[in-house]
Amino acid sequence: MERQQQQQPQRHRGDHGRSNRSLFRRTVCLMLVMGIGIFTPLIAQLVRLQIVEHDTWEQRAVSQQTKNVTLGANRGTIYDTQGRVMAISATVYRLILSPNAVLKSIDQDDYPDKEGKTYEQALAERRNLIVNWLAATFGYDRDRLVQRIEFTKSGYEILAYEMEEEQAELVRQFTSENHISNMLYLEPTSKRYYPYSSVGSHVLGFMNQNENSGDRKVGAQGVEAIYEDALSGEVGRVVISKNAQGVEMMSGYEMYFDAENGYDVTLSIDERIQAILENALAEGVETYNVTDGAFAIALDPNTGAVLGMASCPKFDPNDYADITDTFLQEQLQQIAAANGTDSDAYKEAVSAAFSLQLRNKALMDTYEPGSVFKPITVAIGLEEQILSMDDTYYCGGVKVVGGWPIHCHQHSGHGMQTLTKAVENSCNVALMDMAEKIGADTYWKYLEDFGFLDATGIDLSGEAKCILHSEEEFTGPYGAASLATYSFGQTIKVTPIRLITTWASLINGGHLLEPYVVSSIRDSAGNTVYSHGVKEIRQVISQSTSEKVQSIVQAVVNEGSGHNAYQAGYRIAGKTGTSEKKDEDTGDVVCSFMGYAPYDDPKVLVLMAFDAPERSASNSNYTPSGTYISGGNITAPVAGRVLKEILDYMGVERKFTESELASSDVSMRNVVGQELSVAMGTLRSANLNFRYIGAGNIVTDQIPSGGTRIPGGSTVILYLGDEKPTGLVPVPDLSGLSPDAAKSKLEEDGLFLRMSGTTGSGSKAVYQNIAVGTEVPMGTVVDVQFGDTIIDYDGDPSGAVPNP
């Protein structure tokens, strides 16, 4: 710089000097600005990007540059307790259309000349190719497809979510033939299959996407949801660096994260038992036009293992949004017919039906259990030795509690009765007396001990809490009415699962257990990683109290209000319940039955209830078909049959009393060719009656043929001389007939009767296993269930005590 200043005055003078100084100053000024000034903000910006925000940008770079290939962690399979596959995953495909890629595949610069087409024509041609093929092959709506393919902003239109391999192969062929595999392509994804469709749907749950899972489907209910972590496993990943066109980078890298397959879950549920429950519910619901659904639980009372848990209406987890229940479908059709399918009313109804069918009533609903609760009251009194088996109770038809008259369902009263008889009669007055003796404080303590204040802890989500009065209210001065109504199971609302768990403790020696639906979990190598043993919460009552309660409920089926559940040889015990839905004020009732078998060694405990069977009129207690609406008439026969089927399935040996033995099945002897007198002796010794057709001394034919098992005491047909059996006969209508009448009506036609249920003189046929009019060969055995009309109404018609 010094040099410069020396030189300049030498070369220039005067004004020139001033001018040159200005040039010098300004150039130096520019030098500073251009050489240093403008780079300063740049450096600041670089520091910000590369140092301060480095992590953010690197994250963004990595996320766009790496292809995350997920390695399929197969979702675990769900087995029932017998190893039947209840839920299994398989690979399916998503069909993706990229309207943007379609648009870009036609280069505007090539047109209008290329192949004599304009750009628009070429684009339309390609779009039509795709749209037409999709519409023709998969039947997609053409207009909708056109709309979507013209939405060119999008590069990712999902046309199908779960495409099976066969269809996927068609897509692959089509796209490779036409070189459009960047516009229409498949993405593998997995689909859950439920081989038994709706069986066990509420327990199994289903798969869908939620707000956190993104486009991955996760378990949404039941076991699928609660055991999501165990079932889903760890999705493995290969991270591959890729270029912007998705091709692997040349100098790229790969990282592997091994996939860990999901664990297999074994349920305590048995598919067969589950199906038995569901079929029984469906049949009951249809027979009695039950309006508010039904539920049933089968529990192993000794372990707490849930063998079956059914709720009606149910859904098909393969397509959980589809309304399959016929009752709901009818309702929807009615609304659709009245308002049209576009109406808000219809949409609301659809969404209501949808959430209704997903609802596991056995777990999520509470109801007033009614008389089914009575053995609990008795158990409390017996355990506290406030009650004794020898106590007697007088029922005059009404008891005044806290100034309110509370009626027995039998307004005339039951008179004098023993404790057992009082339960058999389902006498409300006697139960109120007992509760009064026990006292509110003790009663409340046992409600706590029996777990009514807690959830059962079952491994399913959505368990409701029982609804009780508060302790202060219940044990306080105004609690007398609550105590009285609790004693027969009104004004207390319990969940079915809680009720059956508590009931299990009544019959298993007093052990309150934790119910469960998943018995074990195994990893993919087969190692058991979890197993649910018997988990006892506490012992609530003693073994001896439990035995006493068992003897009482045994009598209910054998002699009392539950006798419609009777099945010869199966030793069923239980209690019916017909409870008012007080909070609804509709007069509808819940008809329920809690029973177990065999009573000397309980293998299964079943709770079954139908919520609001249709009544013939709003003030009527009868169904339109004339059945008195009560747990004893509606639920007990169905539940008895269910218990029979379950025990048969479980292979529990039947034990008959002597009278039962008389009608137990015997084997038909072959008497063809024998002399009539010899044949008669043979049949008599086999406990069979006979009649003969034709004349002669030699038996030429017989119905049934030798070896056929028919109930003892049946009348077989012997043919003498030239007479021959006439072949097929239609099964007659037996409904409403007494056992004797039914027997003779069947035997007239050469058919045999196998009776079940109550077979007293007042019994009437309520169920036959072969439909009326079916053509069957002569000699066929028809199973007929008989039942009595039982009036046991828990509610107090005056409605004295409000619900909690």
Partner 1 sequence: MALFRRKRRKAKRDLTVEEQLARGPMDLPFLGLVLLLTAIGLIALLSASFAYGMYNPYPDIQDTGGDPYYFFKHQAFFAVAGVGIMLWVSKVDYQRLRWLGAVGLAFSILLLVLVLIPGLGVAANGARRWLKLGVTFQPSEMAKATVVIAFASALSRRKDRKGLPPRKFNRRTAFGRFCEWADKFGFLELVPYGVVLLIILILLAKEPHMSGMILVCIGAASVLFASGISLGWFAALGAVGAGGLWFIITQTEYMTKRIELWLDPLSDLQNGGYQLYQSQVAVGSGGLLGKGLGNSTQKYLYLPEMQNDFVFSIWCEEMGLIGALLLIVIFALLIIRGFWLALHARDRFGTLLVVGFSTLTAAQVAFNMGVVTGAIPTTGISLPFFSYGGTALVVNLAEMGVILSVSRQITAPKSK
Cα distance between residue 260 and residue 71, in whole Å? 9
Min dist. Cβ of residue 47 to partner 1 (A): 7
> Can you tell me the distance from the alpha carbon of 159 to that of 140, in angstroms, rounded to the nearest whole number?
9
Burial class (CB in 10 A: 0-12, 13-18, 19+), 30: exposed
Comparing CB distances to partner 1, the nearer of 38 and 695 is: 38
Do residues 475 and 440 lie in contact, with contact meaning Cβ atoms separated by under 8 Å? yes
Angle, helices 428-438/374-383, rounded to nearest 10 degrees = 40
- Rounded to 5°, angle at Cα 124 from 122 and 128: 120
Nearer to partner 1, 99 or 750 (CB): 99
User: In this complex, which beta carbon is closest to partner 1, that of residue 19 or of residue 351?
Assistant: 19
Between 244 and 525, name the residue whose CB sits nearer to partner 1: 244
| Contact between 303 and 270 (Cβ < 8 Å) | no
Residue 651's nearest CA partner among 605, 608, 603, 607 is: 603
Residue 712 neighbours by CB under 8 Å, 6+ apart: 661, 662, 663, 664, 665, 666, 687, 688
Rank residues 108 and 769 by Cβ distance to partner 1 and give the closer one: 108
**Smallest distance from the beta carbon of 69 to partner 1, in angstroms?**
17
Q: How far is the CB of 22 from partner 1 (least distance, A)?
A: 5
Q: Whose Cβ is closer to partner 1: residue 182's or residue 664's?
A: 182
- Considering the complex, what minimum distance in angstroms separates the CB of residue 304 from partner 1? 56
Quote the least distance from Cβ 157 to partner 1, whole Å.
17
- Phi, psi angle pair for 256, to nearest 5°: -110, 135
Q: How far is the CB of 178 from partner 1 (least distance, A)?
A: 20
List of residues 6+ apart from 360 with CB closer than 8 A? 202, 203, 221, 222, 295, 309, 311, 460, 462
CA distance 304 to 301: 6
DSSP 591-643: EEEEEEE-TTS--EEEEEEEE----SSTT-SB-TTS-B-SIIIIIHHHHHHHH
Identity of residue 668: M
Helices (H), 532-600: 543-558
Contact between 222 and 360 under an 8 Å Cβ cutoff? The reply is yes
- In the bound state with partner 1, the residue whose beta carbon lies nearer, of 108 and 343, is 108
Answer for the pair 718, 702: CB distance below 8 angstroms, yes or no.
yes
The CA distance from 533 to 304, in Å, is: 9
Nearest to 549 by CA among 502, 514, 592: 502
Binding site for partner 1 (CB under 8 A): 3-4, 7, 14-16, 19-20, 22-24, 26-28, 30-31, 34-36, 38-39, 41-43, 45-47, 49-51, 53-54, 56-58, 60-62, 64-65, 107, 109, 241-245, 247, 249-251
Separation between Cα atoms, residue 372 and residue 553, nearest integer Å: 10
581 is written with which tokens?
């839905």
Smallest distance from partner 1 to CB 27, Å: 5
- Find the shortest distance in angstroms from Cβ 112 to partner 1: 16
Cβ(683)–Cβ(690) under 8 Å?
A: yes
Nearer to partner 1 among residue 27 and residue 388 (C-beta): 27
CB of 36 to partner 1, least distance (A): 7
Smallest gap, in angstroms, from Cβ of residue 123 to partner 1?
Answer: 16
**Integer CA distances (angstroms), 235 to 199, 215, 447, in order:** 29, 14, 46
Host H or E run for residue 755: strand 752-757
Q: How far is the CB of 37 from partner 1 (least distance, A)?
A: 9
CA separation for the pair 401, 409 (Å, rounded): 16
Shortest separation between residue 251's beta carbon and partner 1, angstroms: 7
Q: Using the minimum distance from each CB to partner 1, give the nearer residue, 3 or 179.
A: 3
Long-range interactions of 175-179: CB distance < 8 A, separation 24+: 178/129
CB 54, min distance to partner 1, A: 5
Which residue's CB is nearer to partner 1, number 22 or number 544?
Answer: 22
Is the CB of 61 or the CB of 321 nearer to partner 1? 61
Residue partners of 311: CB distance under 8 A and separation at least 6: 202, 281, 293, 294, 295, 359, 360, 361, 362, 363
SS3 percent helix, strand, coil of the chain, rounded to 5, is: 40, 25, 40
Asked if 331 and 452 count as a contact pair (C-beta separation under 8 A), the reply is no
d(CA 262, CA 677): 72
Min CB(181)–partner 1 separation in Å: 17
Residue whose CB is less far from partner 1, 123 or 642: 123
Instruction: Tell me the closest approach of the beta carbon of residue 175 to partner 1, in angstroms.
Output: 21
Choice between 67 and 217, CB closer to partner 1: 67
Q: Which of 33, 416 has the CB closer to partner 1?
A: 33
* Closer CB to partner 1, 240 or 716, in the complex: 240
